[in-house]
Structure 1
Amino acid sequence: MLHLASRKVGSGLLSRIRANVFENVICRKISTSSRKQAVMPAWVIDRYGNNSMLRFTKNSMFPIIYYPNEVMIKVHASSLNPIDISMRNGYGAAALKMKRDPLHIKAAGSEFPLILGRDVSGVVMETGLDVSYFKPGDEVWAAVPPWKQGTLAEFVVASANEVAHKPKALSHSQAAALPYVALTTWSALVNNGGLKKDNCKGKRVLIFGGSGGIGTFAIQLLKAWGAHVTTTCSENAFSFLKDLGVDHVINYKAQSLEKQLKDLETFDFILDNVGGQTEGWALSLLKPWSGATFITLVTPFMINTDRLGIANGIAKSGITLGSKILKHLSQGIHYRWAIFTPSGPTLDKVTELVDEGKIRPVVEQVFSFSEVPKAFLKMEGGHARGKTVIDRSKECL
């Protein structure tokens, strides 16, 4: 109860008054040496495009706590996710711009210069007036939503509801590998798929794309809860995934993936982390009329809003999802879309699993802060075996 109460957000006129007072106080209080310059080092983009758009600056606007439920974090480590590549290219610009808070982005309404990066592990520097669960000096982790300025910087501001205490057993580099993939996976399996520790034992689960960040977290979570897990990957990832506890690995390059999977016993649950043409036949792998579930993380929502505008994009996405739900429900199968959902309380649950030794971060490669463009190029190369991490402690630029 303390945890939930301490994340409570102020509201109404009183909250706005407190926020204004707090802004005046905090401008005098935060890091005097940093505040003199009112800037910080960061990697930004000034327009959407390829990797050449990434620009290092020592003069990025220093973030400010505007609301009484916010926390300022000094970034020790962050990590990259596929969404960072997509956002650099302009994916979701229309929907995200609508969601962005002008106080945190720019009063003029432009998102540029935009800081990418969603994951953060670091130390609390300052807290808003309504925050009691965290205090300066606490080691924390979070996944910052894509409509906010990101974590490829010296400092980042997040809602206290998005932040949790970092697992003590993990270094900052290890911790930074987990939040975004953990919350995306939790949204798919738990919030939308209805899986939990009490109902997962013995379920046959298929994961399309098991070797990346989401796949490796999903495998560990499902195995911790007693599921039988099958996943797809290339042959050189077999031993890596077996080490995470996978029961059956399918080489999607060896022969027809559809044929290989149809030769197996049917599944209770499918997590689609790949998209493409797979969905056209994958639902036939589920047990019919058994309440089986298909969850995809590859949805057309952002593409629709980018192409058609907010109103028409939302309408088209709603029609598409509704028609698929009805179509598959007529066959006794639950069809769902899932997206990343920021949540500090969920990260607290992940911390418990980490502390119990049931979840461990899977870090493929660590880059220094000066190597952010190289890290992006590595991500674009595909064939991930875990997460790509940016460690700010390696150097100072």
Structure 2
Amino acid sequence: MKAVGFTTSLAITEPASFIDVDIDKPVPAGHDLLVKVRAVSVNPVDFKIRQNSAKDTVLDQPKIIGWDAVGVVEAVGSDVSLFSVGDAVYYAGDITRSGSNADYQLIDERIVGRKPATLSDEAAAAMPLTALTAWEIFFDRMRLSADRDRDKTLLIIGGAGGVGSIAIQLAKKLLGLRVIATASRPETIDWCRQMGADQVVNHRNLVEDVRNAGFRQVDYIVDFVDTNAYWDAMAELIKPQGHIASITGSATPVALNKLKSKSVSFSWELMFTRSTYQTDDMIEQHHILNRVADLLDEGVLQTTITQTLQGLTADTLKQAHAQLESGTTIGKLVISF
């Protein structure tokens, strides 16, 4: 089957940063679905793994990456009970397994949801990874609820990106929060407002801009850009007994002591935790994706797709990764097969 991968980590401008390959079609067993992939979307995790997983080495076999896919179930393993052959599905994948940049992919049914019926393959492919990330950060890590938290203030650092775009919607539509999102360009400011942000502030002068917008401090902060770069600002802006959460990691220790006097909580979120560690509640991602599909079909949420490329080729993946690495992507970029 056709796939796109790499054997060494190279700059995206290098000819061999992605290569077209032909690999064996996998066979499902256990809880696995064999999915004929129809569309994928690209996330920052894709280029970060491409840049770092094969440094100073050449792999014996091409590494196939890609998380976020829409496709149709072609075959199932012996333990599958949630899906049948012919079902249209969407999912964000498992970072420990071969990815979605291929004609076919094996994926555990417990991290797969039904494709939203009202969306095209491309529009649906934009959603799984970012929706799971935002859902988990709000409901599993921060434990927010509409009953308790409605009308409280949330600052989203990185409002126009893939996760920020769906996080704004979830925070407004499901939690009833007052959302302040960061953006700096006219087009990203407009996008955040389209997603439902109540206020848009400039991340370059974060403390000053939040306060100029009328907020001395905020109840909650989520960081989708750079934990350490915004740490001092977050520590200053968070209310006592508030909660900060981040998806971006940190190459250096985070100064948690800056939160102590305010008794502020801090959480990490990684969407791949459940699949990587085969957690007891791994099937929660199946339930979350189905709930998000319902919300999309009901028109409560909207897809965050903004750009579509055609064809599963090395050249298309290079174009997509170059776009994401530019740091200027709004919403989600999708590749249709």
Are the equivalent residues in 1 in contact too, given 2:219–2:239 (CA < 8 A)?
A: yes
Structure with the bigger percentage of helix: 1
CA apart distance, 1:44? 0.5
Unpaired runs of 5+ residues, structure 1, are 1-39, 94-109, 305-319, 393-397
Q: Cα deviation per residue 1:238-262 (whole Å; 9 max; x = unaligned)?
A: 2222111110001335xx3332124
Q: C-alpha offsets along residues 67-111 of structure 1, whole Å, 9 cap, x if unaligned?
A: 311111000000000010100101599xxxxxxxxxxxxxxxx68
Q: How many percent identity over aligned positions? A: 29
Report the CA distance shift for 1:199/1:60 in structure 2 as closer, same or farther (over 3 A).
farther
Q: Quick check: 1:200–1:222 contact (8 Å CA) kept in 2?
A: no
Instruction: Output one character per residue of 1:30-53: Cα deviation in whole Å (capped at 9) or x when no partner.
Output: xxxxxxxxxx11110111222232
CA contact (8 A) 2:7 2:54 kept: no
Residue 106 of structure 2 aligns with which residue?
A: 157
Of 35, 42, 46, 1:80 maps to 42
Letter in 1 for 2:124: A
- Determine if contact 2:207/2:237 at 8 Å carries over to the other structure: no
Aligned to 1:348: 290
Partner in structure 2 of residue 328 of structure 1: 259
Query: Would you say 1:45 and 2:20 are equivalent positions?
Result: no
What corresponds to 1:297 in structure 2? 247
One-letter code aligned to 1:90: N
Superposition deviation, residue 390 in structure 1:
0.6
User: 2: distance between equivalents of 1:131 and 1:283?
Assistant: 46
Distance 1:349 1:197, change over 3 A: farther
What secondary structure is seen at the aligned counterpart in 1 of 2:230?
Answer: helix
1:366 matched to 2:315? The reply is: no
Return the letter of the residue paired with 2:244: F
User: What's the counterpart of residue 326 of structure 2?
Assistant: 381
Q: Is the 8 A contact 1:140 1:164 kept in 2?
A: yes
In 2, Cα distance between equivalents of 1:210 and 1:157: 32
What is the Cα deviation at residue 139 of structure 1? 0.4
2:18 corresponds to which of 43, 51, 54: 54
Give the whole-Å Cα distance in 2 for the aligned partners of 1:360 and 1:54: 32
> What's the secondary structure of 1:377's corresponding residue?
helix
User: Would you say how many aligned residue pairs link Structure 1 and Structure 2?
Assistant: 312
Moved more, 76-85 or 278-287: 278-287
Cα 1:193–1:91, aligned 2, differ >3 Å: closer, same or farther?
Answer: farther
Q: Does 1:240 align with 2:203?
A: no
Q: Does 1:71 align with 2:33?
A: yes
Question: How far apart, CA to CA, are the structure 2 residues paired with 1:345 and 1:150?
Answer: 22
Q: Highest Rg: 1 or 2? A: 1
Matches of 1:233 and 1:391 in 2, distance apart?
Answer: 28
Q: Report the AA paired with residue 23 of structure 2.
A: S
Q: Which has the higher contact order (CA 8 A, sep 6+)?
A: 2
Q: Which amino acid aligns with 1:351?
A: A
- TM-score calculated relative to the size of structure 2: 0.87
User: Structure 2: how far apart are the matches of 1:169 and 1:158?
Assistant: 23
Give 2:270's match in structure 1, choosing from 315, 330, 339: 339
Instruction: Work out the CA distance in 1 between the residues paired with 2:221 and 2:27.
Output: 42
State the distance in 1 between where 2:10 and 2:4 align.
15
The code of the aligned residue for 1:62 comes to K
Aligned-residue CA RMSD in angstroms?
A: 2.0
Q: Report SS of the residue matched to 2:239.
A: coil
Using structure 1 for the length normalisation, give the TM-score.
Answer: 0.74
Alpha-carbon distance between aligned partners in 2 of 1:328 and 1:224, rounded to the nearest angstrom: 29
Q: Which ranges of structure 2 fall in alignment gaps of 5 or more residues?
A: 276-284
Paired with 2:61 and 2:224, the residues of 1 have a C-alpha distance of: 30
Amino acid at match of 1:252: H
Letter in 2 for 1:216: S
The one-letter code matched in structure 2 to 1:63 is: P
| Distance (Å, rounded) in 2 between the aligned partners of 1:195 and 1:179 | 20
